[in-house]
Structure 1
Amino acid sequence: MSESSSASVQPNTAAEPGDAGQRAVVRAPVASPFAYLGRQPILDRSGALDAYELLFRGGTRNRAEITDEASATAQVVARTIGQIGVQAVLGAHRGYVNIGRELLFDDVVHLLSPERFVLEVLEHVRLDAPALERIATLRRAGFRIALDDVAERSENLLAALPYVDIVKVDMMLTDRAELPALAAAIRAAGKTLVAEKVETQEDFRLARGLGFDLFQGYFFARPQMLRTRRARSSRAALLRLIALVARDVGVPELEAELRRHPGVIAQLLRLVNSTAYGFARPIASLREAVLAVGTRQIARWAQLLLYATGRDLPWSSDPLVQLAGTRSHFMELAARSVHPHDQPFADAAFMTGIFSLLHVMIGVTPARRMERLGLARPISDAIDRQHGELGALLRIAKAAELGDYDAMQAIVEEQGGRFTALTPSLIGELNLWAASWFSAHSHG
């Protein structure tokens, strides 16, 4: 972890003195409807942005407050990929993600694209033979490995140098008299040198003169805080997903389980459209999303969310999730009533219902809710402009939620006979069925 520490920093804007970043253990943050992510720029010798280090933030205070290292990193990854989005967080740059020993050996690291993320091995990780072998395996998979918070020419460093790509030297901890020899040894091994915790112009000039390649610290910028709506995950539901994948069930079984959990579907679409995947066409159904990601990645994602959930409330107690689940199932049932033999239309109606509330569930403005999700055009048009048959079904769903049968009837008549099957009595029944279905399947 590479956040700076300075006694001159104000407590509510940056790290307090002695903040050791992700290895710190302090009180748990107060529960909030929002989740936060920090990012600190890493600059090249010309001052241009080269990458960001992604930092856990447990609340509104811009500093590390961590009680569980694996959970903190899992939340950073989940918020970057599944909630805010890789493009929004990183743009065209790489992201450095802190990795402790537990996650170093965990399969979930493969949720990260080697082209977009650098694995930053924390300074207290024991670099024994199994750890070095694991690092070598990850490098063969395409990952770049950074060694964090180096402060001396230790035997541990010399043993690790052949296995890493980047070495981050802590400018606050390193003895100034030892810094030239330390930098020379790392450069001689052909590694990228990063000066971290650069706090003054003198630090920068010294590191630049010693041949450091990249620079990070409060002299350039404090971490920026990004905010998103907190996503709550049902641990039992995630365990069921992992168990289904372990039993090698088919796509229909996975799809059926996912339909009960709107929040996972929203994050799954983010995962599909992260830069780790190159899905060639817009997503028109949940099945397409499952096929695009693959069952192994779904299991990895569920396991990552298990790390990240902590003690969050289950989705069954979240009114937004209840509404999204009920609306999506109502729209699917209504679509089958309108076009009984058109399964793709029913699938698209379900997706429309889920994502009609996405802007509320993940905390963005309605104008940006379809951004980079890669949904099929009829679904996006239905949500953004209420166009087409899907848009009409969405309007009927909203009217049904309000009990406005006059509005429902007007929308049916507006469709010129195509929705005649949707009588007021049938709409009422479908709404009750949808609510009872979601209530029955969302517990745990």
Structure 2
Amino acid sequence: MSSASQPGLAPGASSGSQHALQPDSQPCPLSASQGALRANPGLAQPFVYLGRQPILDRNGALNAYELLFRGGAQNRADVDDDVRATAQVMTRTIGQLGVPAVLGRHYGYVNISRELLFDDIVHLLPPGRFVLEVLEHVSFDAAVLERLAQLRRAGYRIAFDDVCELTENLLRALPYADIVKVDLMQTERSALPALVARLAAHGKTLIAEKVETSEDFELASSLGFELFQGYFFARPQVLRAPHVRASRLALVRLLALVANDVGTAELERELRSHPGVVVQLLRLVNSSAYAPGRPISSLREAVLAAGTRQIARWAQLLLYASGRDLPWGSDPLVQLAGTRSHFMELAARSLSPQDQDFADAAFMTGIFSLVHVLVGSTPAHTLDRLGLAREIVEAVDGNRGKLGTLLRITMDAERGDYDGAQRIASEAGGMFLALTPPLLGELNLWAGAWFTAYAEG
């Protein structure tokens, strides 16, 4: 683990810190619902946080990032549970901020405890994007060594963290590692040359971590270290994203369905009732090594693209990462996304009963019409990263096409402005003329009752 757990700033840390996302120095604009969450101290904080510290080569060029748990805007770790900390790093990187935004084209190093090493959810990290950094307190017994061998065969690169001496435990495990991170603060200066020489003789990539001064860097360079990490180069940046909650009950249901080997239709049916999980599932699909080659236009396609095993891993990871939180049904933004998406699906079925694709796309449009609020960005920027079909993107970002018209009608109807909704329907003509105020009112009641039933179930 890097020196990231030390709070505060020190002079001279500049190179390597100017990259894709900026640290949490200015607050993002708050939506009305986010403002309400912040105003009530009894509610969960509206943002999640992630630290990342650059790993640089000897020329100062960015090579990778170590991803670090942050419980708040303060730049310190405060880790009391390694499993939960790593699970939250994974969910925030993959499901909330997004791998491209966090890592760009570079690798991400993620701390892995013994428990997570053996857990199937580690496979949510695409091996082409992530290095598994085994924590220093893991004992390399026969079971761990076999697991490391399996993960390397699956394409993962393995790093050993916080090395300061060559113990028997470490020597036994060296054939299973690709990278060794040497802790300059914990290693006796007189012992460094011999330690580096023995590690280099095993053909390992060496990273000098906790490089605090120019003297540290000069010494590490002269000894042959290839990569460097520490406060001399850059402090960890604190990235943030609005907190998207996932119902623990929803996740347990998903795991039960997958365990019972249900079909795609039943998984889709369950996911429809949990819009927060759907948003994160789309991020998962588009962050994975198995991302589809074409845009996703229905929840069914997302389920098929992810696969039941990946969905089970994702649900399990979210359970790991969750803490004491608001009940899912109490989140006003989730309520609005849930009722809006179901309203649009019901309206689409009323307008074109035989067109299942239209109903599916209407449901997805309802969910993603609010996702930019969840992530504190603009519709265009947010949707561009989700890989959705063009007609859904155009509906959300500009109210264009049939789905855009239906979204405008829906937004008026959910405010109770049925006359305004009917005017939009009349102007559009064609099938939309069927959406009369009585029908819109009925659909609103059905959508609200549907969400309430699931939120309380």
What band does the TM-score fall into relative to the shorter chain? over 0.9
C-alpha separation in 2, matches of 1:346 and 1:310: 35
Identity %: 71
> Per-residue deviation at 1:436?
0.3
> Per-residue deviation at 1:32?
1.3
What corresponds to 2:275 in structure 1? Answer: 262
Map of 1:78-89 to 2, 5 A cutoff? 78-89=91-102
Q: Which amino acid aligns with 1:374?
A: G
Map of 1:1-16 to 2, 5 A cutoff? 1-4=1-4, 9=9
What corresponds to 1:140 in structure 2? Answer: 153
Q: Does 1:427 align with 2:440?
A: yes
Q: What's the secondary structure of 1:320's corresponding residue?
A: helix
> Per-residue deviation at 1:93?
0.2
> Per-residue deviation at 1:7?
8.8
Among 353, 356, 377, the alignment partner of 2:390 is 377
> Per-residue deviation at 1:234?
1.4
Q: What's the secondary structure of 1:442's corresponding residue?
A: helix
Conservation of the 8 A alpha-carbon contact between 1:4 and 1:199: no
What corresponds to 2:74 in structure 1? Answer: 61
Conservation of the 8 A alpha-carbon contact between 1:233 and 1:313: no
Segment drifting more, 280-289 vs 362-371: 362-371
Segment drifting more, 148-157 vs 253-262: 148-157
> Per-residue deviation at 1:275?
4.1
C-alpha separation in 2, matches of 1:364 and 1:57: 21
Conservation of the 8 A alpha-carbon contact between 1:4 and 1:198: no
Q: Does 1:221 align with 2:234?
A: yes
How does the TM-score come out when normalised to structure 1? 0.94
> Per-residue deviation at 1:157?
1.6
Among 362, 372, 394, the alignment partner of 2:375 is 362
What corresponds to 1:279 in structure 2? Answer: 292
C-alpha separation in 2, matches of 1:88 and 1:141: 25
Q: Which amino acid aligns with 2:183?
A: D
Q: What's the secondary structure of 1:64's corresponding residue?
A: coil
What corresponds to 1:18 in structure 2? Answer: none
C-alpha separation in 1, matches of 2:234 and 2:121: 30
What corresponds to 1:308 in structure 2? Answer: 321
Structure 2's unaligned 5+ residue stretches are 14-42
Map of 1:58-207 to 2, 5 A cutoff? 58-207=71-220
C-alpha separation in 1, matches of 2:338 and 2:147: 41
> Per-residue deviation at 1:364?
2.2
C-alpha separation in 2, matches of 1:298 and 1:385: 31
Mark the CA change 1:147 to 1:336 in structure 2 (over 3 Å): closer, same or farther: same
Segment drifting more, 367-376 vs 260-269: 367-376
User: What is the aligned residue count?
Assistant: 426
Structure 1's unaligned 5+ residue stretches are 14-29
Q: Which amino acid aligns with 2:195?
A: L
> Per-residue deviation at 1:335?
0.5
What corresponds to 1:44 in structure 2? Answer: 57
C-alpha separation in 2, matches of 1:427 and 1:373: 30
C-alpha separation in 1, matches of 2:317 and 2:205: 30
Runs (4+) off by over 3 Å = 4-10
> Per-residue deviation at 1:314?
2.3
How does the TM-score come out when normalised to structure 2? 0.91
Segment drifting more, 121-130 vs 425-434: 121-130
Conservation of the 8 A alpha-carbon contact between 1:104 and 1:134: yes
Conservation of the 8 A alpha-carbon contact between 2:124 and 2:288: no
Q: Which amino acid aligns with 1:408?
A: A
C-alpha separation in 2, matches of 1:6 and 1:246: 42
Segment drifting more, 372-381 vs 62-71: 62-71
Aligned Cα RMSD in Å? 1.5
Q: Which amino acid aligns with 1:294?
A: G
Q: What's the secondary structure of 1:228's corresponding residue?
A: strand
> Per-residue deviation at 1:359?
1.0
